[in-house]
A = this chain, B = another copy of it.
Amino acid sequence: MLDTPNEQKTQLSELGEFALINRLTSSIELKNDSSLTGVGDDAAIIDHGKNETLISKDLLIEGVHFDLAYVPLKHLGYKAVVVNISDIYAMNGTPSQVLVGVAVSSRFPVEALDEIYEGMLLACKRYGVDLVGGDTTTSTSGLLLSVTAVGYVKKGEAVKRSGSAPTDLLVVTGDLGAAYMGLQVLEREKVAFKSNPNLQPELQGHEYVLERQLKPEARKDISDLLKSLKVKPSSMIDISDGLSSEIMHLCKGSSLGCTIYEDKIPMDPQMMRLAEEFGINPITAVLNGGEDYELLFTISIEDYDKIKHNPSLTAIGHITEDKPIQLVTKAGQAIELEAQGWTSFQEG
């Protein structure tokens, strides 16, 4: 498989996602004037005249990112589009097009692809984007979706992962951790169904967390909201891998640290109740769960008054000159956070 089979082989599981990305992309140099930014942010920025084009790309793989035992195909198509255009919003941009790649094995009938496309087109309609291309092919096993989202932003208005300054406030939209608890509910019902296929799934009362997991929405509203509040974020990212990883990306982007406060983090009561039921600390769902597709951004401390009463926005901490990225727990203890991202290579 390798040209040099006798050389040292590092297992992927030894590295983890972020070290691997660094390794693979460190030698990349941008050569075209139009490539304003490349790898290392939610989307690439490309200069094409009066606006800047934004492009993002994500893969969703059966058995890794979703389990068809409990994810309806229409929802899957919807989610595949949403998670990509979320990357465009995270750059302060407006999504305008998507390209979709679908690979399926022969176990899928045509109607399965119909449903996936139906979901993708529903998301396109909801967010005002056009599906402009892609590729459909066979796979030897399972289903794979690859979506590329294209958007635009006025010249100079893209908000990157870098750009924050010491004393900037860290702000999140919505609430966090619910998508992860939705996944726990689905996993529990799957196990119950396996042991007794006649059982009806117990999903009632869990609608919010299930919707957050199965049919997430991207924060289309935040760019306009911030404009109306006259606030310009200094850096921004969407929360796909969990708050912990995303905060690290922002801090790394500006070579700074931060302190966040557990008691400030917005959580939905249904999520907290379920966390208790499952014996999971809610802060763990928030930090490491992911898939919330909320936005995390930094603003100047002088803008705090403009956002403090807005129900969609919550300040959860601040950027610091010092490097540690720390969480102050409800008990007042300061804990240093560690990177997560995927580590599923161990399982595969």
Q: Which 3 A-B pairs have the closest CB atoms?
A: A49-B49, A44-B132, A48-B48
Question: In angstroms, how far is the closest chain B Cβ from the Cβ of A313?
Answer: 28
Binds B, one of A65-73, A168-176, A299-307, A328-336: A65-73
A140 close to B139 (CB less than 8 A) = no
Question: In angstroms, how far is the closest chain B Cβ from the Cβ of A11?
Answer: 6
A2-34 contacts to B, CB under 8 A, are: 2-4, 7-15, 17, 20-21, 23-25, 27-28, 30-32, 34
Contact of A141 with B144 at beta-carbon distance under 8 Å, contacts A35-B96, A51-B49, A129-B32 already known: no
Complex interface: chain B residues within 8 A of A51 (CB): 48-49
A211-262 contacts to B, CB under 8 A, are: none
Q: Does A56 lie at the interface of the complex (its beta carbon under 8 Å from any beta carbon of B)?
A: yes
Q: Does A193 lie at the interface of the complex (its beta carbon under 8 Å from any beta carbon of B)?
A: no
A138 close to B61 (CB less than 8 A) = yes
State how many copies of this chain the complex holds: 2
Contact pick for A101, options B32, B55, B73, B146, CB 8 Å: B146
A20 close to B110 (CB less than 8 A) = yes
Closest to A146 in B: B146
A347 to B41, CA, bound (A): 39
Question: In angstroms, how far is the closest chain B Cβ from the Cβ of A116?
Answer: 9
The residues of A with any CB-CB pair to B shorter than 8 Å are 1-4, 7-15, 17, 20-21, 23-25, 27-28, 30-32, 34-35, 37-39, 41, 43-44, 46, 48-51, 53, 55-59, 61-65, 68, 72-74, 96-97, 99-101, 103-106, 108-115, 117, 121, 128-142, 144, 146, 148, 150, 152, 342, 344-348
Complex interface: chain B residues within 8 A of A100 (CB): 57
Complex interface: chain B residues within 8 A of A347 (CB): 106, 138
Complex interface: chain B residues within 8 A of A38 (CB): 97, 130-133
A130 close to B96 (CB less than 8 A) = no
B132 close to A348 (CB less than 8 A) = no
**12 more A-B residue pairs beyond the given contacts A12-B108, A24-B114, A28-B130, with a C-beta to C-beta distance below 8 A:** A12-B138, A24-B113, A24-B117, A28-B121, A32-B96, A32-B130, A44-B133, A46-B132, A53-B150, A57-B100, A61-B140, A64-B139
| 12 intermolecular pairs with C-beta atoms under 8 Å apart | A1-B108, A2-B109, A2-B115, A11-B109, A30-B132, A32-B96, A48-B48, A58-B135, A61-B103, A61-B140, A63-B139, A137-B342
A344 close to B49 (CB less than 8 A) = no
A59 to B62, CA, bound (A): 16
Complex interface: chain B residues within 8 A of A139 (CB): 61, 63-64, 144, 348
Most chain B Cβ neighbours within 10 Å, of A28, A43, A50 = A28
